[in-house]
Amino acid sequence: MSILDTIGGILSNAASSLHIHILSGNNTSNSPKTINKQKVVDKSRDKTVTSIKIDNSVKNFYVLQVPSFTACEIPSELAPLVSEYNKKGIAYVAFEQQQEVTDVLTFEQDQHINGLLKFFKDKLIPRDYVLLRTGLYLKHLRDNNQEEARKQWKRIKLNNTTRDRRVINLAGADYFNTYFRPLYKELQKEKNCLSNFRKQFDDIIDDMHFVVFVGADMSVGEIIRELTEKTSKNIRYGIKDDIIYIHAAGNSTVILEKSIEELRLIFPDIKVKRNIRSGKKLIKVSVWYRINKLDK
């Protein structure tokens, strides 16, 4: 089939989503005719494998044999694709990322997750709502497919701000359910509930006054310093929460374990909860910070 015929087929296809397998230059080997896309989760090996199998069961798949060209000189055969894009008739999406979005939407059908998302949909600004969804899904990945979770977190770290990551971390540690939902319900008794909630949410994300997330590169001294700074600030500003929570997962639990004895010397009222989830160690330390030996 000529390239013009292929492009004609693509543009005349009524399907809303179709796939092109791009071959360029002289790379014509193993050119598939149709495609069957499968995503297989191999839990025993903690891996997700996206495999592409060639068979005759899937329509809307095209092999686009593109001649060699430089970016500045598009071959005339490809002009209809350029023209269709300029007319806003085509959008392009990486196949792997389309699958990831589909996986997230499937996950969000869960009744508990769906209920939480519905609660916050109009209460958070759109960006924070997306970060909430990301955090919930990331927690699901961490519980079921740690390799995929690590891959996603690496991309998140690369493309998002510290504030974004804080919201994601809080969502993953269930704080939208246990902290922000009760906070909103409490504010409902007052006027300007929504704007008050968003203001308080912003302040909390800026300060993270009730939580410390331990990074694998933190030292014992840094953990203690972050906790004591938050303690002093909370007392100074009359924050009503009595507990600061410290979270660590995986490698970062090592340094938190080392910190606990030192923490007890300053904060005698501490509760340590250890869990293993999908083979990964998790620690949550609750610190009743008002009773402390900071001034002694």
Partner 1 sequence: MKTITFESSENAKRVILALIGKKVDEDGYVVEISSGDRVVTPHNEELTLENFAGVRPGSEVFFTNDLPSLLEQAEFIKV
Instruction: Assess contact for 143 and 278: CB atoms under 8 A.
Output: yes
- Least CB distance from residue 25 to partner 1, whole Å? 9
Q: Which of 18, 58, 117, 220 binds partner 1 (CB under 8 A)?
A: 18
- Least CB distance from residue 280 to partner 1, whole Å? 20
The residue assigned the tokens 């796939």 is 19
Phi/psi of residue 80, nearest 5 degrees: -60, -35
- Least CB distance from residue 139 to partner 1, whole Å? 12
Question: d(Cα 216, Cα 144) in Å, to the nearest integer?
Answer: 21
Number of chain residues interacting with partner 1 (CB under 8 A): 55
User: Binding to partner 1 by residue 72, rule CB under 8 A?
Assistant: yes
Q: Which of 40, 45, 76, 92 binds partner 1 (CB under 8 A)?
A: 92
Q: Which of 94, 111, 189, 240 binds partner 1 (CB under 8 A)?
A: 94
Question: d(Cα 189, Cα 186) in Å, to the nearest integer?
Answer: 6
User: Binding to partner 1 by residue 77, rule CB under 8 A?
Assistant: no
- Give residues 191-230 in contact with partner 1 (rule: CB under 8 A): none
Phi/psi of residue 191, nearest 5 degrees: -75, 160
> Is 129 or 288 the residue whose CB approaches partner 1 more closely?
129
Question: d(Cα 52, Cα 34) in Å, to the nearest integer?
Answer: 10
Nearest CA to 250 out of 142, 160, 130 is that of 142
User: Binding to partner 1 by residue 117, rule CB under 8 A?
Assistant: no
**In terms of DSSP bridges, do strands 243-249 and 211-213 run parallel, antiparallel, or are they unpaired?**
parallel
Residues 6+ apart with CB under 8 A from 92: 85
**Binding range to partner 1, per CB under 8 A, among 77-85, 117-125, 243-251, 286-294:** 77-85
Q: Which of 8, 13, 114, 188 binds partner 1 (CB under 8 A)?
A: 13
Residues 6+ apart with CB under 8 A from 114: 108
DSSP designation for 16: S
Instruction: Assess contact for 210 and 179: CB atoms under 8 A.
Output: yes
User: Binding to partner 1 by residue 138, rule CB under 8 A?
Assistant: yes
Instruction: Assess contact for 156 and 165: CB atoms under 8 A.
Output: yes
Question: For residue 96, what are its two tokens?
Answer: 């792997």
- Give residues 236-295 in contact with partner 1 (rule: CB under 8 A): none
- Least CB distance from residue 147 to partner 1, whole Å? 15
- Least CB distance from residue 50 to partner 1, whole Å? 10
Question: For residue 176, what are its two tokens?
Answer: 């939208």
Site string for partner 1, 155-194 (x = CB under 8 A): xx-xxx---x---x--------------------------
Q: Which residues bind partner 1 (CB under 8 A)?
A: 10, 13, 15-22, 24, 64, 66, 69, 71-72, 74, 78, 81-82, 85-98, 100-102, 104-105, 126-127, 130-131, 133-134, 137-138, 152, 155-156, 158-160, 164, 168
